[in-house]
Amino acid sequence: MSLPTPGSTSIPTRRPLPVAVAGFGWMGRAHTQAYARVLHHFPDLPVAPVLAAVADEVPGRAAAAADQFGFARAELGWPALVADPDIAAISVTAPNFLHREIGVAVVSAGKHLWIEKPVGLSADDARAVADAARRAGVRTAVGFNYRNAPAVQATRDLIAAGGIGRVTHASFRLLSDYAAHPQGALTWRYERERGGNGVLGDLMSHGVDLVRHLLGDLQAVVADTAVFVPQRSRPTGATSGHGRAEGGELGDVQNDDWAGGLMRMASGARVGVEASRVAVGQQNTYGFEIHGTAGMVAWDFRRMGELRLSTGDRYQDEPAATVFVGPDAGAYGAFQPGAGIAMGYDDLKVIEAAAFLRSIADGEPHGATIDDAVAAAQALDAMTESVASGRWVTLS
């Protein structure tokens, strides 16, 4: 991923780029904060995002966002953003079931698109947005933010350079407890028609992207899924994030709480994957352990700047060391001057914003794009098919 470098002493000439945000929950806030900070960390960007408009269907939410973050105006509906000829790019951070409709409308209007994963409810939805973007000739970015961690980029470079030999097998985990409480509200996330395939789209999509980003193409998958909290209370008002509801009407959870699977890679490597939204005792336990013929590398999102690395010529009884990545890893140098200084989740969205804006400026893809969303969605659809058939499913 090519990004502008920090540290320039000259003042670059930038053209303003009016941007808008459709949907202002937690992720809408994350996109907005990334736009606001991106020039602090990437001052050589040739475009400067200008917060033109924000839309959210919850009365008062967009107006509050405009007041807090400085958007020029607030709207109740996203169509007003698409219809505005002055807006050049739109972040789509609405619920999954709206991704296809809004995404296609945005790119068909000739606007660049930064959209959150998983881009709809199926591979067909993601493909529809990708096809429309291709026809319109606009740039896209997708919110696979964990690939942006400098330690993940260092891992990718290490593997490509043969630093752990040929990759033989790996495990990827995405475990969280955000839905573990039995009184968690029955929001759109738990409905098949609006939330899609549950933890597959929510967390496993990140896992699949990390697998592809680090290890290459998937060849075949076999999977299993389960629902462990079968009913929840319906909320009585607007919700944000993962709120609770008590005493409301009970409804069925229609999509999966847990998913696990095995993957055969085109390289011949084998990969185990697991994702859960009901893992009591696990808070954002995301990461991987990758083994090769000559070493091992492991990463935990909660210790974002660290790698566990084992390399050497002993093979057996080879120790593992903790390595702190520094300014030469990914975009780390845009944030901190030396190794061991912590970065945070929001920094990953700033890196994502920089890649998106760079792609708009030079017309070349940077970072995760809509094509990556299509590839991840195809793998998720294959996992769903495997659950139904009980068999391995080959990916095209």
Q: Is residue 363 part of a domain?
A: no
Mean pLDDT of 244-255: 82
Q: Is residue 354 part of a domain?
A: no
Domain that holds residue 157: 146-336+369-394
Q: How confident is the model at residue 386 (pLDDT cuts 50, 70, 90)?
A: very high
Q: Is residue 7 part of a domain?
A: no
Residues 135 and 175 both lie in one domain = no
Helix axes of 370-389 and 205-215: crossing angle, nearest 10 degrees: 110
What pLDDT, on a 0 to 100 scale, did the predictor assign at position 3? 54
Provide the domain count of the chain.
2
pLDDT digits 0-9 by tens, 27-41? 999 999 999 999 999
Question: 273 - beta bridge partners?
Answer: 172, 261
Burial status of residue 217 (CB atoms within 10 A of its CB: 0-12, 13-18, 19 or more): exposed
Task: Give dist(CA 144, CA 301) in Å, integer.
Answer: 13
Residues 98 and 176 both lie in one domain = no
Residues 295 and 174 both lie in one domain = yes
Residues 306 and 214 both lie in one domain = yes
Q: Is the pTM of this model over 0.75?
A: yes
Residues 117 and 159 both lie in one domain = no
Task: Give dist(CA 308, CA 319) in Å, integer.
Answer: 10
Q: Is residue 93 part of a domain?
A: yes
DSSP 8-state secondary structure symbol assigned to residue 198: T
CB burial string 314-349: b at 16+ within 10 A, e below: eeeeeeeeebebbbebbbbbbbbeebeeebeeebbb
Residues 36 and 134 both lie in one domain = yes
Structure tokens at 204: 């496993």
Task: Give dist(CA 207, CA 88) in Å, integer.
Answer: 31
Alpha-carbon torsion angle 141, 143, 144, 149, nearest 10 = 100
Q: Of 126, 144, 162, which residue constitutes the final position of a domain?
A: 144
What pLDDT, on a 0 to 100 scale, did the predictor assign at position 234? 87
Residues 140 and 153 both lie in one domain = no
Residues 122 and 107 both lie in one domain = yes
Question: 306 - beta bridge partners?
Answer: 324
What pLDDT, on a 0 to 100 scale, did the predictor assign at position 243? 73
Q: Is residue 351 part of a domain?
A: no
Residues 132 and 154 both lie in one domain = no
Evaluate whether 297 touches 198 at the Cβ level (below 8 Å): no
DSSP 8-state secondary structure symbol assigned to residue 156: H
First CA to last CA distance, the chain:
26
User: Helix count (H) and strand count (E) of the chain?
Assistant: 11, 17
Q: Is residue 298 part of a domain?
A: yes
Q: Of 123, 144, 165, which residue constitutes the final position of a domain?
A: 144
User: Of the candidates 156, 164, 150, which has an alpha carbon nearest to the alpha carbon of residue 295?
Assistant: 164
Residues 192 and 314 both lie in one domain = yes
Q: How confident is the model at residue 235 (pLDDT cuts 50, 70, 90)?
A: confident
pLDDT over 90 for what percent of the chain? 87
CATH number, domain of 67, equals 3.40.50.720
Q: Of 114, 144, 174, which residue constitutes the final position of a domain?
A: 144
Burial status of residue 218 (CB atoms within 10 A of its CB: 0-12, 13-18, 19 or more): buried
Mean pLDDT of 296-303: 98
What pLDDT, on a 0 to 100 scale, did the predictor assign at position 381? 97
Task: Give dist(CA 357, CA 89) in Å, integer.
Answer: 9
Residue 38: HSE in the Cβ half-sphere, 13 Å Cα cutoff: 28
Mean pLDDT of 252-267: 96
Residues 97 and 137 both lie in one domain = yes
Q: Is residue 1 part of a domain?
A: no
pLDDT digits 0-9 by tens, 154-197? 999 999 999 999 999 999 999 999 999 988 898 888 998 888 89
Phi/psi-derived region of residue 243, left when phi > 0, alpha when psi is between -120 and 50, beta in every other case: beta
Residues 93 and 159 both lie in one domain = no
CATH number, domain of 246, equals 3.30.360.10
3-state secondary structure of 4: coil
Average pLDDT, the chain: 94
Q: Is residue 84 part of a domain?
A: yes
